[in-house]
Structures are given as structure tokens and as C-alpha cells.
Amino acid sequence: MKFPSPIPLLQLAQLTNSRVIGDGLMTVHGINEIHKVETGDITFVDHPKYYDKALQSAATFIIINKEVAVPAGKALMFSDDPFTAYNTIVRKYRTFSPGKSSISETALIGEGTIIQPGAFIGQHAVIGKNCLIHANVSIYDHTHIGDDVIIHSNSVIGADAFYFKRRPEGYDKMISCGRVVIHDKVEIGACCTIDKGVSGDTIIGAGTKMDNMVHIGHDTVVGKNCLFAGQVGIAGVVTIEDDVILWGQVGVQKDLTIGKGAVVLGKSGVPKSLEGGKTYFGSPTQEAREKMKELAFIKQLPSIIEKLKS
């Protein structure tokens, strides 16, 4: 998320009761979690496993709970609880305001777009031309939708990321400040859910089509002309390249890439990245032809065992 205007680091330190290590007059342009950071951003780290990753990332500013040397060109904020400091900044600069009508006065809706009764369009949402939004669709704040998009009933676009920190007393929610961005000519079936990015964008590429009951996790980027059948579930921070087909009930693990033109057959589980241009099956997935040979061999095992006994 980018701030409306750059903010001096010292101002954020005062907001979060943190201490600046380095130049507090440097200005912060945005806030992002580690997967989406860019130059000028502030991020946080609170676990030794990830100190180096954060300090060496593109982020110019890091909220950290350890005294360390300041990397060249960066500045730090020392906090006993970087996670809470991060959430405090997000709450300040992405304030939630309850809706006062089913279609927000701040929403921008293009010419020729039809919004059926019962749909909710949140604040600062943008919907392009010639879209069809069916009854009971919920489009959360700051969502961007292109032209010629169809969204069927009861789908939810822009719900919070499923992202929690476990503490002794329970789970602490990481506040989402990202968006969902849907490009032109996308069709989304009934009862689908697309979560906003934690701090960046969840993106659905032009021409992609989704069946009913598909879930897309936070910060996932889907390419152009993909096809997802019913009950596909995709976790967060996944990259799906153009022309990928996921058949019914495929489950995709987080933090991986599915290459251009890959096809994953129904009921498969994808635990790691897949090369493009191939067909996959199974849980865990492997190339479909090899998996089918393996299954055929397994069917022969009883007769093989009987022969060995005799």
C-alpha cells in the first residue's frame, strides 16, 4: 500500500512508540509485508530466521526487534513488537469506514454496467464498463474491476487476507491493506471468494474464467485466459501464469508458481511449483502419464503377490 504522501520515518516511530535507528527524516512512501516490498517501503521482521531476508530486501525501512547495524541507504525502527507496530501503521493510514448504502457514493461505476439488487459495492471501488454484477455479490473497498466482467451471485471480492500471528493467548490478525484487481473479460462464478492482498494486490488476469465455489488467496497473481473449475482452492502468494487450467477440486499450496499452459487434473494437490506446458495429476502432483502408469501397476499388485506366494 502506498501512502497518500510520503511520511517521515520519525513520525511513524512516534505513532508506534518505536525508536529510530538511522536517519529519522527519511520519508516512507508505502507499507508492505516482505513478499511485496519495493524501494521506499517500510516492512517488519520479528523472527531471527528472517532478519537477513528483511534487511537485504528492497524495503528502505524495516521495523525490527533486534539491535543491528543499519544497511547502507536504509533506516530502521526498533520495536519490542514489530507485528503490532506494523498493524498500528496500517490502521492509521487505511482507516475502515462502515458503508452507509449498498453502493458507496465514492465508488466509480462505468457506463453500461448493471448491478443487480442486493449487491454491495464498497468505498473507492472502481468498476469498468459493461460489467454485470449479480444479486448479493459483495465487492469490498478499493477493489478495481475492468470492463466486460461478470460476477455471479454470492461471490465475495476483497475479503481480508487469511494471515495471523500465533501468540500464547491466541491468534493475532494481520490487518489487510491491499486490493483485488480484476482485469477485462473475467467471469467469476457463484459463491467464489477472492481475498485482497495483505499489502499488495491480488490480481486476476484478462479473460480468466472461474466456475462456482473457487477460492483465491491473498496476493495471488493469476495470468490471462486461465480456467478454474468448481471447488478449486488456491492459497496465498501463488503465481499462476497464462493459459493454466485447474480442474475440479484442485488444491494449490502457498508460495509457488504454476507455469504457462499447465493443466492439473481434478482432485490433485499441488505442493510445489510446476513447469508449464505439461499435464499433472495426483496428490502430490506428478506428470499425469507417469501417475497413470503408477496407478495401473498398483492395481496389479494383488495378482503379483498371489503369484509370489505360489
Distance, CA of 192 to CA of 232 (rounded, Å): 10
Distance, CA of 126 to CA of 265 (rounded, Å): 35
Other CB atoms within 10 Å distance of the CB of residue 266: 14
DSSP 221: E
Active site residue 218: yes
Q: Are 45 and 51 in contact (CB under 8 A)?
A: yes
Side-chain half-sphere CA neighbours of 36 within 13 A: 24
Distance, CA of 15 to CA of 193 (rounded, Å): 34
Quick one: cell of 39?
A: 524501494
Side-chain half-sphere CA neighbours of 65 within 13 A: 14
Helix (H, G, I), strand (E, B) or coil at 99: coil
Q: Are 58 and 35 in contact (CB under 8 A)?
A: no
Quick one: cell of 263?
A: 493443466
134, 152, 215, 218: which is the annotated catalytic residue? 218
CA-to-CA dists, residue 88 to 81, 174, 179, angstroms: 11, 10, 19
- Bridge partners (DSSP) listed for residue 195: 159
Q: Report H helices in the chain.
A: 9-16, 51-55, 82-93, 288-309
Kindly list the catalytic residues: 218
